[in-house]
Amino acid sequence: MIGSFGKAAAVAAAAAAVVTLAGGSAGAASTAYNTRTVHLDGIPVESDADACTTKTISLAAGTYTWTQILDNSRLPSRDITLAAGTYTWTDCLRPHNGYYQQTSSLAKPGSAPAALNDPNQLTFSANDYTFGSLLDPHF
């Protein structure tokens, strides 16, 4: 009887392993990043050039969490539902007199562009900074 139980347990374990392998997901979509590192002098004026990074990206339809990146900070953030297609993804640090503003946009031909803008007036000391945004799919 114990031998039969041991065989049954081994068969059940093997069957569970096969079901687990066959039923596993193909994996979630990866988080996408659009970032750039720049040197800021810490004394922004309106006439300074914007620092931007732009890429073209193909996205699947679905909901994403869109989050701005500024060094180790990950704010602001919002959920956005996007149609499948090719998007132009742009992130900028825009100088104003005495501060910077971080902006992000996603544009798909035939659709209104989406924006994620940090409402804060950002000030920095002279140094290198990495900025941009990420898209984290919910699927």
Domain around 82: 32-137
**pLDDT tens, the chain, 139 aa long:** 444 333 333 333 333 333 333 333 345 689 999 999 999 999 999 999 999 999 999 999 999 999 999 999 999 999 999 999 999 999 999 999 999 999 999 999 999 999 999 999 999 999 999 999 999 999 9
- Whether 132 is in a domain gets the answer yes
Whether 85 and 59 have beta carbons less than 8 Å apart is answered as yes
Hunting for tokens 């994996």 — which residue is that?
27
DSSP notation for 70-82? ETTB--SEEEEEE
State the amino acid at position 89 in one-letter form: W
Residue 6 lies in a domain: no
Residue 40 resides in a domain: yes
Inside any domain, residue 17: no
- The predicted pLDDT at position 29 comes to 85
For the chain, the domain total comes to 1
Q: Do residues 118 and 73 make contact, with C-beta atoms less than 8 angstroms apart? A: no
**HSE of 66, CA atoms in CB hemisphere, 13 A:** 21
With respect to residue 20, please indicate whether it lies within any of the assigned structural domains: no
**Which residues, 6 or more positions from 52, have their beta carbon under 8 angstroms from its beta carbon?**
36, 90, 91, 92, 93
- Cα torsion 69, 72, 77, 81: sign: positive
Query: Is 118 within 8 Å of 76 (Cβ atoms)?
Result: yes
pLDDT at 27: 52
Q: Is the pTM here over 0.75, yes or no?
A: yes
Is residue 15 in a domain? no
14 occurs within a structural domain: no
CB 111 within 8 A of CB 133: no
Specify the amino acid at residue 59: L
Q: Classify residue 54: in a domain, yes or no.
A: yes
Q: Rounded distance, CA 114 to CA 67, Å?
A: 13
